[in-house]
Amino acid sequence: MISFGVFLFILFFQPFPLDLLDYNNRLLYVTGFGAITFLMSCIILIILPISIPKWFKISEWESGPPAVISILLLVVTGTAFVFYIHYIGKVSLSLYIMFKVVLVCLMPVIILIILYKNKSQERVIDVLQDQNKYYLSRIREFDKAGTEDEFNIRSGNKSEKMVLKYSDIISIKSADNYIEINYLENAQLVKKLIRNTLKGIESQLVNQRSFIRCHRTSIVNIRYIEKLIKSYSGYSLKLNCCEEKIPVSRHYLKQVKDTISAGE
């Protein structure tokens, strides 16, 4: 593609003298420029990186050809053009001709930079799409584990029973021999006391990643955490569904911070 572009450019814009040649020889002469570009590109872009990979290692993440390859392609192609123009085209060399040779030889390098940038951007897009699919699948798994299952809460003497969706539970707090369950019902905050221990409830929630222990008296659903607040009295959690703040003890602080950071 690059060599064909060089061929068309020289054929239509005629940067080098072609007046001494008839039409057929002129076309053959211009074809030589394309052939030189193709041959030099194969040597510099394919053969050298394969033969000397340590010197010409090309990463798929690069947004342009390595500087060594760009300079080599420019110098080698330009030198071949000069010899071709002088000995085949019978054209006397001048500074003006040399300047035009450099400009024409810059075309393959510029085209390569554009191609590399497109390839690099496509690679980045592919990686981002793969990551997006992965995170979407994890979110679906998380939602499935956290919203479709129901939590059966029984009192210690099994005389009481509550059935709640995990996604509706906001927090669970210890209250002497009882636990206080804060949950949403018809978009309204409801508090319910049931005879049980926080340790017993925590053991039932061990496979539920949406719940985290933040204090010896509290377990919260991370879905409802708005932010972690630091004050003179310590740390607490601000929830997005109620004004009450949940205390965070130093023992659970790191775990809470890591959980919040992972969710951002």
Closest CA to 211 of 147, 118, 122: 147
pLDDT of residue 59: 55
CATH number where 234 lies? 2.40.50.1020
d(CA 33, CA 13) in angstroms, rounded, equals 13
Q: Are residues 35 and 117 in the same domain?
A: yes
**92, part of any domain:** yes
Return the SS3 of 165: strand
What pTM value is reported for the model?
0.44
**222, part of any domain:** yes
Expressed as residue numbers, the domain containing 159 is: 149-263
Q: Are residues 15 and 119 in the same domain?
A: yes
pLDDT digits (tens, 9 = 90+) for 40-64: 888 888 887 788 777 666 554 455 5
Q: Are residues 92 and 185 in the same domain?
A: no
Q: What residues of the chain score a pLDDT lower than 70?
A: 19-23, 55-65, 138-148, 157, 263-264
d(CA 96, CA 51) in angstroms, rounded, equals 36
Give the ranges where 43-184 is alpha helix by DSSP (H).
48-51, 67-83, 95-143
Q: Are residues 6 and 133 in the same domain?
A: yes
pLDDT of residue 217: 93
**228, part of any domain:** yes
Number of domains, the chain: 2
Final residue in a domain of this structure, among 139, 169, 190: 139
d(CA 114, CA 1) in angstroms, rounded, equals 13
d(CA 166, CA 143) in angstroms, rounded, equals 10
Q: Are residues 99 and 162 in the same domain?
A: no
Q: Are residues 69 and 181 in the same domain?
A: no
In sequence order, the 6+-apart residues with CB closer than 8 A to the CB of 28 are none
Q: Are residues 107 and 230 in the same domain?
A: no
Q: Are residues 226 and 130 in the same domain?
A: no
**245, part of any domain:** yes
**177, part of any domain:** yes
pLDDT of residue 70: 82
The residues that bridge with 238 in the sheet, in sequence order, are 227, 245
Final residue in a domain of this structure, among 105, 139, 173: 139
Q: Are residues 177 and 63 in the same domain?
A: no
Q: Are residues 122 and 155 in the same domain?
A: no
Q: Are residues 154 and 134 in the same domain?
A: no
- Around Cβ 38, how many Cβ atoms within 10 Å? 17
Q: Are residues 230 and 161 in the same domain?
A: yes
Helices 23-42 & 67-83, crossing angle to 10 degrees? 150
pLDDT of residue 61: 43
**244, part of any domain:** yes
pLDDT of residue 147: 47
The residues that bridge with 227 in the sheet, in sequence order, are 238
Final residue in a domain of this structure, among 117, 139, 161: 139
The distance of Cα 5 from the centroid of its chain, to the nearest Å, equals: 34
pLDDT of residue 140: 65
The residues that bridge with 169 in the sheet, in sequence order, are 183
**144, part of any domain:** no
pLDDT digits (tens, 9 = 90+) for 215-255: 999 999 999 999 999 988 899 999 988 888 999 999 999 99
pLDDT of residue 60: 46
Q: Are 68 and 55 within 8 A, CB to CB?
A: yes
**53, part of any domain:** yes
